[in-house]
Structure 1
Amino acid sequence: MQATDLDMVLAWRNHPDVRQHMLTQHVITLDEHRQWFERSLHNPQRKIMLVENQGLPFGLVHFTGIAPQASVDWGFYLAPDAAKGSGRALGQSALSFAFEQMQMHKLCGQVLEGNAASVRFHERLGFSLEGRLRAQVFIASQYRDLLCFGLLRSEWLKTSLT
């Protein structure tokens, strides 16, 4: 992701279909977005990438806590108008990058309870449900649980080779 992508990514992030599944659900301002991007650029443990098909971006993936052989947190979202099947392409590209290129030990993801699509997405990619953080986040006047998913590099390698 580059600075020239900020407006497009902010429009995706603020779209109601995307925002409703985020831990931070208010409409992000351009200034907030720029500050997030600048902090990320200067953080060697963070990587933000756009996922493209034939040169056209359709999603964003970010990794946090990057270090050799580390357990790394990941997050993602698709452009609201992304074509059917884009999620699978995004997931496969991100996992290939994480485990083949970056040699990450484990990817960890958190999903708001009630986000059935994201739960299915993680499961289809091979993630295991590892736990539940009860009443972990306060969103829209209520506490919500977070579901914790994990995928080990060794697990991914077994499935990616078949």
Structure 2
Amino acid sequence: MINDVQLRQASIQDAEQLLAWRNDELTRLSSHTQDLIEVAQHQVWLERSLKNTNRKLVIAVYQDEDIGSLRADYDRKKQAWELSWTLAPNYRGRGLAKEMVLVFANSIKDAICAEVKETNLASVRVAEYAGLTFTHQQHQVLFFSRSELCTSQD
């Protein structure tokens, strides 16, 4: 299945779809920021994201359908890319999040890390499947990395 998941650069044309995925109730409950995002706020965020050289923002595609988004933000302090992902609600439960995050992680040759809420067991499995190792827990957040560089406990 991994060969079936492709990545493409996100564009401004993805704004409506990205916002719908982001504002999905289960997605919000799994996020650090759980508020509903307004259209204008999202548009500004997306425009800035697309121009930010320290951010990678891609759309995962499976069988010619957009199935989710992935983001990596470069953290200078950790010297690593911090991953974040969202699977489209109608594709949950098929193992596709694991595949899309693995493809994305493999596309980044530098150190990577991710933060996952301890209650988000699906994302814990996704992080592990993508080759990230649990390093520590802080409050209700689990920290994963693919490099010793990411293990600093701030």
TM-score normalized with structure 1 length: 0.77
Q: Matches of 2:127 and 2:31 in 1, distance apart?
A: 16
Matched, 1:150 2:145: yes
User: Which residue pairs with 1:85 in the alignment?
Assistant: 95
Higher relative contact order, chain-length normalized (CA < 8 Å, sep 6+): 2
Q: What is the 5 A alignment of 1:126-137?
A: 126-134=131-139
Q: Matches of 1:38 and 1:24 in 2, distance apart?
A: 19
- Report if the CA contact (8 A) 1:21-1:112 is conserved: yes
Q: What is the 5 A alignment of 1:8-157?
A: 8-65=17-74, 70-82=79-91, 84-99=94-109, 104=110, 106-134=111-139, 145-152=140-147
* Runs of 4+, deviation exceeding 3 Å: none
Structure 2, unaligned runs of 5 or more = 1-9, 149-154
3-state secondary structure, aligned to 1:126: coil
Q: Percent identity?
A: 27
User: CA-atom RMSD, angstroms?
Assistant: 1.8
Structure 1, unaligned runs of 5 or more = 135-144, 154-162
Shift of 1:23: 0.7
